[in-house]
Amino acid sequence: YTCCREGLGVSYGLNWALAARGVIIKDKSFHNLQKSELQKKGAITIGNIKLMLSFSSSVTSHISSVSNIFVQDGVIGSSPKCDVKVRVISDNPSATLSLANILWETPSRAISHDSCPLTVYIASSISSSAMDFLRIGSQASNGFAAADVERSSLVICGKAFADGTAVKNALAALAAPVIFAREGLPLSAR
């Protein structure tokens, strides 16, 4: 008799870590997939969105309602002494691939040991009614990015993940205080 089986898409440790961030896994969560594996799951490379300051738990509720969740860990900064760990939690493999191309790779254990990691929530398939609920409907027909400095979070909805410049600027703005606190100098390089 075996009660618990971990495998591709099933990691109890990851599921608990995501639950601590408000995301409940409905079916599977895929952690740090290689770019080729993300493409097998349907990711495509996408190549103009507004940046707004706010946050909503409806995004984590939306992500929790999706069957497959994609998690990617990475860092901003090249020095282990002052880099900022980032965990991307997404409902879309293409969005995950887009962020994987921006972030530097890091061991997944590094995220859980960081005192101030950033969390990026991507809800690409969130409904337009949910965006209306957030009072940004017509202003963000393609999506939006919202930074929450107090929670060290970035929320990306709709197709906003495709705007690499907006995503990089939002990540840089969130990471800068952490890098400064660790006596580093934030520079955009990627």
Give the CATH H-level superfamily of domain 28-181: Phosphoenolpyruvate Carboxykinase, domain 1 (3.40.449.10)
* pLDDT over 60 (residue 170): yes
Residue type, 92: N
Task: Kindly state the tokens that stand for 154.
Answer: 């970035």
Return the domain boundaries, the chain: 28-181
Going by C-beta distance under 8 Å and a sequence separation of 6 or more, which residues neighbour residue 129?
none
pLDDT in tens, 68-118: 889 898 888 877 788 888 999 999 999 999 999 999 888 766 666 666 688
Whole-prediction pTM: 0.70
Q: Give the whole-angstrom CA distance, residue 32 versus residue 138.
A: 34
How many helices (H) and strands (E) the chain has is answered by 7, 8
More confident residue, 2 or 62: 62
